Structure 1
């Protein structure tokens, strides 16, 4: 993977080129735009980049920063696609109307319909006579494609009292076995070796003729030393892997971590409040994956809301699957609801709430990356920065919202905007909170689909993608706060949209 092109006096951010070209289209694609007229994040991700820009065919347009010729080409592509994008927006409005008429509530409309609307705009142009019937058929087709894999189906499946009782019993049994059951995935050999070592130590203790308190203390010291060695090995390999991220070559460190079961090691450490992975004082061992001292035993649950979801490892079975079903654009690729629930019982009681070892290792790498994120440039984070840290931190610090937050952080004056932006600035002081939460959700989605991270390049694409997502989300929140602060009182008092719940 080539290193990202760095900004120069001649280059322009690709995001800025897209933003200005989009605004030049006028009010036509309004339903694909945010309140300020810029394209929505999903518009860029689902329509502009894959369907208009098509970096796979035009790799020169795939960089974060574009030279004058590339920027002009990108601008021209978007302007030339203007009529089709306006038609896409009109089809999206029509599909949302059909969705409401049919009473469909599952899934995010943007995820489900954006690309279908572009296809309709390409095939039919702007909606005309008969478009209502076409829109209705598309909504029904997308709904049927889920094959009953909906939040409503999940709620119905868990509504049966007998089934809930069985699930509660299965969860209790799986939780009791969690520290003795062998790990899944490629770490089986490592876990077997650890079990054999433990059995050998126990046998030696049982057969010792003169065992006493000192012998027990020595055995405990030996175990502690072995755990410390494993932790040190995981830290060393994680640093090597992160330093190889984004570079032209690979590194055997990632495969070594997977083979040694270092993700499982970290997950089981959380159950006994063991830390030492991050190299800094004051950081919770879970990095926000749980709000408890140790992760609690999962419950079955009966409802969920995006506005009140707890930390990932504190979620019920219902909440874990609610997120999967709500965020899946291609639900037909998921197992059926009964199978989803059955698998989630074991997964929720596994180390880090994940089955696949490569995904568990990605949590460890993500944590090492996350605690070294330093958007404000304070230099108060972990030493030993890697190539991954330099790439992500450099991107963060070029954000205008981060630059303003940095000024607010070092200033003795209070936030002139009444605290709205100060709250966002605080988020930049602990960026690992949002990062780890979003990383876990994406890894959980892959685990549900049996999609491991095969190599370091795949893991880095995931880690870097989450960092970009968190950065863009923070940017959107800053813009929203600025709009609210500058809006007239009547406009600022408009109630926000209701969160999704079930």
Structure 2
């Protein structure tokens, strides 16, 4: 189903511009597209944005909402890459065939080959004579570059009984050596965090913040993590949220285990994950695994990291969790005004963006309608997401920061930290928008529920 039209002159979501431009390219892109014809999420993440749009060179196209002129430029870039994108799809099909012939099963093919296929399309154009040999060489090269950094290799590494026993002992020792602190130890961090968030939401923010740097120097992230181990209440400035903001399903996290397997559909909360689960996502999402430490080092460092405050080593990343938590408890997409006291310019910037989502305003009214949920639960679940946005926000933020921690990529300046914090907020907002649209489509396709959904979505029903 093509995306709905947008009034001329209005800013347009970048994702919508990309999807429409992609559909306009026509056939030949099936290997890079979903069943409905839109580009796959990994196609956008690994090919369209970094290799076609290139926001690093065109920062005006790196925002989530584009003015008409920028939207036209972005669409023109995608149209101009049509031939290369079709060739990329052909190379990807060929590489998957070579992968099957070689019996390679480790890693996600899209993560491993999408960018290499674009490079092949740029260098060679569409596959021609000798392309099978090239494809085979690329698959072998990628497999060698992994250096054993695969989910299957991790599974085998952690299956050794002697190694498992040693890792269990190391986890237990690291966990028992933790030190907790009372909530009073984070009082000064609360003041500094508010100052940083006030700066972040203000126009023309500087690249460095004395308050942000002082949080790092004072190890405020470490203090917060230790306070949460002690089940300290009220550290985020709110009374309705659990102290760990969904980072654990327990009152306090337990000593992590080694683990034997993982699935993205059933992953535990971040601080409840096993060693295997923590590294599973890192390996699954890494397009360039050669940049990761060798597997034994990767596992060894994760033992200590899993027992560190907030489950992270780097202090700048822990401080970013603190800032994210302070921001998350003030997210208010429904505009209820609850807990408005003490909110900063960062809160106002994120909340105002969420509330002016023109494409889903009616759907939001429907999700909080007091009338019966016409589909028996999906809309109520979406409404709950809007009432507790901090849960999805903190989970997504932690995963991003954990990935940076594994790669030794700190956030040394406030501008970099804010880019991550704001980016996660946008990501959660876009994800909720997509889920609302999906629910509405399902309702419209079900006899007897469409009229109830429309009635519940009327402006006076919220």
- Give the TM-score range, shorter chain: 0.7 to 0.9
Matches within 5 A, 1:48-447: 48-179=48-179, 227-228=183-184, 230-245=185-200, 247-248=203-204, 249=206, 250-399=208-357, 402-447=360-405
Q: Deviations over 1:395-442 (max 9, x none)?
A: 323435642442124423223344323322321221111111111111
Distance in 1 separating the partners of 2:231 and 2:104: 44
Conserved? CA contact 2:31–2:89, under 8 Å: yes
Residue 20 of structure 2 is aligned to residue 14 of structure 1: no
Query: Closer, same or farther in 2 for the Cα pair 1:89/1:353, shift >3 Å?
Result: same
Conserved? CA contact 2:87–2:127, under 8 Å: yes
Structure 1 residues without counterparts, runs of 5 or longer: 1-6, 181-222, 490-502
Shift of 1:482: 4.5
Larger Rg belongs to = 1
Shift of 1:128: 3.0
Name the SS for the 1:76 alignment partner: helix
Count of residues paired in the alignment: 438
User: Residue 454 of structure 2 aligns with which residue?
Assistant: none
Distance in 2 separating the partners of 1:486 and 1:137: 49
Name the SS for the 2:37 alignment partner: coil
Q: Deviations over 1:114-153 (max 9, x none)?
A: 2111111112222233333322222221121110111111
Conserved? CA contact 1:231–1:276, under 8 Å: no
Shift of 1:366: 0.8
Distance in 1 separating the partners of 2:10 and 2:419: 27
Q: Which moved more, 1:69-78 or 1:312-321?
A: 69-78
Shift of 1:488: 8.8
Conserved? CA contact 1:238–1:365, under 8 Å: yes
User: Residue 452 of structure 2 aligns with which residue?
Assistant: none
Distance in 2 separating the partners of 1:75 and 1:412: 41
Shift of 1:101: 3.6
What TM-score, normalized to structure 2?
Answer: 0.87
Query: Closer, same or farther in 2 for the Cα pair 1:67/1:347, shift >3 Å?
Result: closer
Shift of 1:480: 4.0
Q: Deviations over 1:179-225 (max 9, x none)?
A: 18xxxxxxxxxxxxxxxxxxxxxxxxxxxxxxxxxxxxxxxxxx97x
Q: Which moved more, 1:469-478 or 1:316-325?
A: 469-478
Conserved? CA contact 2:9–2:68, under 8 Å: no
Distance in 2 separating the partners of 1:116 and 1:479: 33
What TM-score, normalized to structure 1?
Answer: 0.81
Q: Deviations over 1:365-391 (max 9, x none)?
A: 111111111222222345322222223
Conserved? CA contact 2:106–2:151, under 8 Å: yes
User: Residue 456 of structure 2 aligns with which residue?
Assistant: none
Distance in 2 separating the partners of 1:454 and 1:8: 41
